[in-house]
């Protein structure tokens, strides 16, 4: 996505505004494929102060995500606000904080890409009450009631308080402190 900022570069302080609706290409990051279900909507304002071009706005899209509990695909909304700065000549020290541009246009693709990654949820859940998969047979418990026997209950060490890592205490040696 490119923004024509020629007027703002000629008249510092003049605020430009654009609304762009565009389908972004899918991309891969850390083994996760980021897929877009619909065109992304970017509402952006930009102003030049004589040195830096400040760009701020809102991003909204729907991702095609996979539920971390049941592995079903679903459309997940993603929206965030951003505020970034662009500079004509960016030094190596400024690269993490500023985006470079040249000419009378700025390309906001790299900036959007970075902000999408920063705002992605760590894991996606299709619905708050998703039951996930049966740990024994692997069926989706949202759709099927399986007939697997319930697993043994995890160890409890303090009355009714549940300690899922209680078995790790046995791994401590005599010369290590207990927590």
For range 15-38, the mean pLDDT: 91
The structure tokens listed for 168 are: 């790790």
Q: Residue 179 burial by CB count (10 A; 0-12/13-18/19+): exposed, middle or buried? A: exposed
CA–CA dist 149, 179 (Å, integer): 35
Q: What is the model's pTM?
A: 0.74
- Widest pairwise Cα distance in the chain: 74
* Coil, strand or helix at 118: helix
Better pLDDT: 17 or 147: 17
pLDDT confidence band for 152 (50 / 70 / 90): low
Better pLDDT: 159 or 2: 2
For range 130-135, the mean pLDDT: 90
Nearest to 32 by CA among 121, 127, 128: 121
pLDDT tens readout for residues 27-74: 988 888 899 999 999 999 999 998 899 999 999 999 999 999 999 999
Report pLDDT for 161: 62
Report pLDDT for 88: 87
Secondary structure element (H or E) that encloses residue 156, with its range: strand 156-158
DSSP state of 92: G
Q: Residue 154 burial by CB count (10 A; 0-12/13-18/19+): exposed, middle or buried? A: exposed
Q: Which of 7-21, 84-98, 165-179 has the highest mean pLDDT?
A: 7-21
* Coil, strand or helix at 142: coil
pLDDT confidence band for 163 (50 / 70 / 90): low
Report pLDDT for 153: 54
- Give me the residues paired with residue 33 across strands: 28
32-36 and 53-66 strand pairing = antiparallel
Q: What percent of the chain has pLDDT over 70?
A: 86
pLDDT tens readout for residues 80-106: 999 999 998 888 888 788 999 888 989
Report pLDDT for 151: 64
């Amino acid at each position: 996505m490119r923004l024509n900022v020629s007027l703002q570069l000629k008249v510092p302080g003049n605020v430009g505004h654009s609304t762009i609706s565009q389908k972004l290409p899918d991309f891969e990051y850390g083994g996760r494929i980021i897929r877009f279900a619909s065109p992304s909507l970017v509402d952006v304002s930009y102003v030049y102060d004589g040195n830096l071009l400040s760009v701020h706005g809102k991003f909204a899209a729907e991702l095609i995500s996979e539920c971390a509990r049941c592995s079903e695909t679903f459309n997940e909304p993603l929206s965030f606000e951003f505020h970034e700065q662009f500079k004509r000549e960016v030094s190596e020290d400024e690269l993490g904080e500023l985006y470079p541009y040249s000419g009378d246009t700025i390309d906001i693709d790299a900036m959007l890409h970075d902000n999408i990654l920063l705002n992605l949820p760590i894991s996606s859940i299709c619905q708050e009450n998703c039951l996930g998969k049966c740990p024994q047979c692997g069926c989706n418990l949202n759709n099927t009631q399986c007939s697997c026997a319930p697993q043994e209950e995890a160890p409890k060490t303090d009355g009714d308080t549940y300690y899922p890592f209680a078995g790790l205490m046995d791994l401590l040696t005599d010369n290590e402190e207990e927590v």
